[in-house]
Structure formats: structure tokens, C-alpha cells
Structure 1
């Protein structure tokens, strides 16, 4: 009987570990956090008690962090930092809190997004073969540094919001053949470090099915290698309330799985910090849409810089209040 009980308890323990590892990701991109702390910003719980930011996020159901990486960033508090060493340090902190880690490569010295995909200054005059090597080497070095420090990211993004490509002009979608090669170099570098890390390709406007079909049809034609389709979802930037687009988001999530046989994940979402109830409802609806993807192929939802209070960053889509306390909007993660 004792042997049976021990086997039963071991089975439960294994099952719990497995469930935790594959559980729905509720995340926060916290790239600004080291700078916020360095400039003296203080974080408080709703009762006024000063607490560490990651603990406040964890208390609200956050179980994952997303960290951006820039190649040779400057020291500006809002558009710098996020180099290799700072990323490794943040990843270690998050892991010690029991959080899962996503790394987001921008392949730039600062912000890369649909409007700008500038090469790092050190790569500006490189030929295309040299750029392929740059992407591979940079990716391999950062992921290796993380692994050597004891952190193996669960997910890695090759590029940030790249509907028009990356490393312009060489990797523009005007030249899909070259973009495909660049993406595959990033993929190969990640898998060289650890084949179990899941690679994400990320496009904005998650409710725009036509944009996603165009991009990923081209990616398929170029035999781009990836594991997960990452989506941004910001109703604010398309000047529509989430109620007008949430059905389109859910349709697109399901269509991506069906059309390309890939898992999907909202890697960026955000609502207006001064519309707490609306942002709460947005998050609740977004989590539901992802969970509605059949066969658990909707992997999670990540809020972009929830702690990045407007008083510090000037960014109005955080989920933090002027008094240094988390917005009640974040309770959507804990409750769903």
C-alpha cells in the first residue's frame, strides 16, 4: 500500500509540473522596469505598502515576462537600455519569482515596429551575407548568455511587429526571399542553443485577418521556420473600441491555427490607463478570445509595459496609476 501511495503522489507531482509548464501564459512586457527602478520610481500595493514590481504583477496573476533586446542601445531612460547584460539580469529576477520568460529581438539599437525597422548602427554598411551572420551571431550570443546564466527562455521572438519586414531595406517585405533567410537565421540560432525553445514571428493588428494571411502566406512560400504566430492587439491605435474588433481577433486567431497549423499568442495588448473599466473588459475579452481557440492552441496574453506609468514614461496605455499603484484593470488576469 505504501508503494502505491508513493507512486500516486509522484504521479500527482509530475502532473502538476506538467500543468504548470503548459499553463495559459498571463504576461507582462517589463522592459522599462530596470530604468524605472534606477530613476527612483517606487511601486505600491493598493493599501499603500511599497512592494517590488514583479511581486505586484505576480499577485495579479502574471506568470510570465517578456523582455526586449536591442543590439547596441543608448542610455536614454525611455528608448535605451535593454542590452544583453540587462536582459539577462531581468530574466534571472523573473525566473527567481517563478515566472516564465519570453525574449523579443528587435534587431535594432532602439524601437522596431511597423513604422521603423532600422538596422543597428554597427550593421548599417554590411552586405546581405554579413547581415545573415549578424542576425545569427547576435541571437546565438544573447540566448547562450541567458542559458549560461541559468535561464532558458520558453519563447523567443525573431523580430518585433514585422508586417513590413525587418532590417530595412534588405529584409523588407519588398524582398521576401531575403526576409525569409533572415528569419530562418534567427530561428536556427535559437534552436542551436536549445531546440525546445519556441520561436515566434510577430505581426501587429491582430484583428486584421487579411494582413496576417498576406504575411504568413508569403512566409510559407519562403519556407520560414517558426513555431508560434504572435499578434499585437491595440484597439486604441486603430481608433476603435475593443467591442468593435474582438470578434475579428478571435476569428483571426482560429484562422491562423487552421490555415498554418501553428499555435497563437497575443504578445502585446494594452488599453488606456485612464479608462480602467474599459481596459479591464478589454483584457477579459482578449483572454477569453485566446482561450476559445480550439485544442488549447491559444497559448496566452501579454500586456505591454503595464507598470510603465504615464507619469514616468509618458505612455498612456500602461495599467498603472499616478500614485504608483497597479490599476484594477490588471485584476482581469487574476480572475480569468
Structure 2
């Protein structure tokens, strides 16, 4: 996600300005929709930011632990990415275990996001880990299974069972390229998903497995992918989506995303999770309404199939790693955007 979003962030920042929005739904203080929804954040950068000396504060200016701050703003779930052998160490097993333990101690639910790469995996890059680079599709299935099983076993040893696991991140064209590229080898991609699925269910059959694509407004992409995976007998429980409106005007993307979510429920009878969302940090009012409107649309999906959403790295501030779509101001405090979770 990060690579694609940064390229447009500067354009979005220039597009901000004072603009009036109609408030959707109930006010934050009386919104009953949130009660049973997943209210989450991906805070995978947290330990790296802390090591760099970044600190976090509540709206009164009181310094607060970053994970605790997510709990304090009424979030109930944390998403963490895991890489296979990252060069800098962050997002490796040890780092993920440390962050997961902090979330678990706060009573928060956990989503583990397997990238199956040594670095970022997204629609533009799904690079096979260096240690797996010469493997054929049979060996890659074993590597996916072993890596997934190892990570979840380590979590379970600490008494932590994730509620959800993503088998791949923003896999618009599969993962573990070239052998797992969906446009060329949809059958291989399904095999790789099933290898991860098998490992997850062996750890705990109650963990729900997510297949995650970006561009939640793009119904054509989702039909192509999930028709292909279904035809190739891929196993998964939840359809995951990302949604990052290309401009500060969020209304049309939200409408398109709702139409896509409803179509996915109708076609595949699967639950839906918004695994990543984001809007410019300089536009907190619009972002607040964007989130609240999404919650209404998710809540209204047929048969209770809408689960909730995760904001991607809301705690990123002061242009951390050139990312401009967080939900904190430049002093390390949450903005009005975060009030959408209260």
C-alpha cells in the first residue's frame, strides 16, 4: 500500500482547503453502529517510530503509550504486518511478537498480515523472499505453510491467538511473483492461499482467513479475482479491501465501495473487512466523515456480513517516512479524524 499512496500524497495535500461537509449519521457520542464493529488500526510502524524518539500524546497533551492511545480512542483491534527476513529487522517475528503482546495485554483483537516478502508487498510488487527465490511452486507452498505456522505457533506460545489472518497483502495480481502471479497462474495463487489457510486452521480453526485486495471501489477487479480463486478452489473466509480515496472527495469512492461489498456478499457469501483505509492527515474533518460514513455502509451490509475497518498507521505524524495519510497532527496528537472511532 505504502509505495502507491506516497506517490499521490503530495497532490492530495495541495488539494486540501476549507470545505463544508454534511455530517452523516449520528454524532460520535451517540453512534450505536460502532458497538459491535471492528474498530482497528494498523500500527506496524509503532516500534520503529519509538526507536526513532517519536512520542505520542492524547488531545490534552499528556504523553501516552502509542498502543494504549489506540485503546483510549475506542479502538478494539490492531493489525500488524509480518515480513519474512527484513533487512532492518522491523516487522520480523521478534518485532511482531513484541507489538502483539502489547495489544493482547490491552485486550485488543489481533489481525496478522502476512506479506510473504522481505519487504513491502502491494499491487505493484510481490517479491518472493530471497530465501525462497529458487523454489518451484511445490516448494513455495511448503514455505508459505511453514512461515505461517511458525509465526502463529510463536504467538500461540505467548497465549495470543489472532482473530484474523491475511494470507497475502493487497494481492490484486497474486503474490510470490512470478509463480504466484494471478494473471498468469491463478491456479498457483490458489495453491499458495490454501497452503497458508491450512497452516492457520491447524493452529486454531476459529481464526478467519482473509484474502485482501486494494481499490475497494473496483468491482471488476474483485469479480475477476474471486471468480478465479473460486474456480480454483481457494479456501478463505473473508474478503478484505483497501480504500484510499484519490482525492479528499470521499463520497463517490464510499458509494462504489458499498456497491462492491454488496456484490461480493451476494456472489460469494463471504464476510467483508476494510483492512486498510486512509485520508490526508491535513483533512481531519473530511476523514472523520469518511470513516463514519463507511461504518454506516459496512453495518448495513446484508446478513451482518460487514465486520468493520482498520485505519492504516494513524499514528504516523510529522511526515514519518513521507507518509501523509495518518490521523495525528505534527505534534503527535490524534486529530478529529480519530473521533470517528469514539
Give me the TM-score of the superposition, normalised by structure 2.
Answer: 0.88
Partner of 1:273: 281
Deviation at 1:311, TM superposition (A): 3.3
Residue 154 of structure 2 corresponds to residue 145 of structure 1: yes
Deviation track 1:45-95 (CA, whole Å, cap 9, x = no partner) reads 1111111112221121110000000000121xxxx6101111111111101
| Aligned mates of 1:33, 1:240 — CA distance in 2 | 26
| Aligned mates of 1:175, 1:312 — CA distance in 2 | 37
| Aligned mates of 1:308, 1:254 — CA distance in 2 | 32
After superposing on structure 2, the runs of 4+ consecutive aligned residues of structure 1 that deviate more than 4 Å are none
Is residue 187–residue 199 contact of structure 1 (8 Å, CA) maintained in 2? yes
Of 215, 221, 227 in structure 2, the residue corresponding to residue 211 of structure 1 is 221
| Aligned mates of 1:58, 1:128 — CA distance in 2 | 41
Is residue 310–residue 318 contact of structure 1 (8 Å, CA) maintained in 2? no
Partner of 1:27: 40
Q: Which has the larger radius of gyration?
A: 1
Of 245, 270, 281 in structure 2, the residue corresponding to residue 262 of structure 1 is 270
Q: What is the DSSP-based 3-state SS (H/G/I as helix, E as strand, rest coil) of the residue aligned with 1:302?
A: strand
Structure 1: which 5+ runs fail to align?
A: 1-21
Is residue 318–residue 331 contact of structure 2 (8 Å, CA) maintained in 1? no
Higher relative contact order structure (alpha carbons within 8 Å, sequence separation ≥ 6): 2
Q: How does 1:45-124 map to 2 (within 5 A)?
A: 45-75=58-88, 81-124=90-133
Of 193, 211, 224 in structure 1, the residue corresponding to residue 234 of structure 2 is 224
Q: What is the DSSP-based 3-state SS (H/G/I as helix, E as strand, rest coil) of the residue aligned with 2:177?
A: coil
CA RMSD of aligned residues (A): 1.2
Deviation at 1:34, TM superposition (A): 0.7
| Aligned mates of 2:221, 2:135 — CA distance in 1 | 30
| Aligned mates of 1:107, 1:322 — CA distance in 2 | 33
Deviation track 1:185-230 (CA, whole Å, cap 9, x = no partner) reads 0000100111110000001111111111111000100000000000
| Aligned mates of 1:25, 1:90 — CA distance in 2 | 19
Of 301, 305, 308 in structure 2, the residue corresponding to residue 300 of structure 1 is 308
Give me the TM-score of the superposition, normalised by structure 1.
Answer: 0.89
Deviation at 1:240, TM superposition (A): 6.7
| Aligned mates of 2:248, 2:286 — CA distance in 1 | 12
Deviation track 1:84-122 (CA, whole Å, cap 9, x = no partner) reads 111111111101111000000000000000000001111
| Aligned mates of 1:310, 1:292 — CA distance in 2 | 36
Partner of 2:134: 125
Deviation at 1:251, TM superposition (A): 1.1
| Aligned mates of 1:259, 1:270 — CA distance in 2 | 27
Deviation at 1:287, TM superposition (A): 1.2
Structure 2: which 5+ runs fail to align?
A: 1-34
Deviation at 1:313, TM superposition (A): 2.6
